[in-house]
Amino acid sequence: MMDSTVPLVRLRDLAADDRPYWNVDLLYILAVEEPSAWRLIEIAETWHADSIELSGAARANDLMGISGTKERVLVTVWWD
């Protein structure tokens, strides 16, 4: 399992930036519910990633710097 201490605040605010893109080798996809996350994982498996992980709401909220009880699911895709 990969561990990243980089918060996703920049990603959250990306739409407000003058340059709305950010090149990375680590992709976070926020799904609204677990069934959607599993479908995203199926799609991501075709991208030849080195690792694909699923994290629950607590981790998603922590990385984005928010709190709440909303059931978010975070799909993390990483290429080496």
Residue 32 confidence (pLDDT): 86
Domain ranges within the chain, ordered by starting residue? 9-78
In 3D space, the residue among 77, 75, 61 whose CA is nearest the CA of residue 26 turns out to be 77
Residue 68 confidence (pLDDT): 72
Going residue by residue through the chain, which has 80 residues, state the pLDDT in tens, using 9 for 90 and above. 455 555 666 666 666 666 666 667 888 898 988 999 999 999 999 999 999 999 988 888 888 788 776 778 899 999 98
Q: Take residue 58 and report the two structure tokens written for it.
A: 């607590």
Residue 53 confidence (pLDDT): 95
Residue 1 confidence (pLDDT): 45
For residue 75, count other CB atoms closer than 10 A to its CB. Answer: 22
Cα gap 63→18, rounded to integer Å: 23
3 state SS of 30:
strand
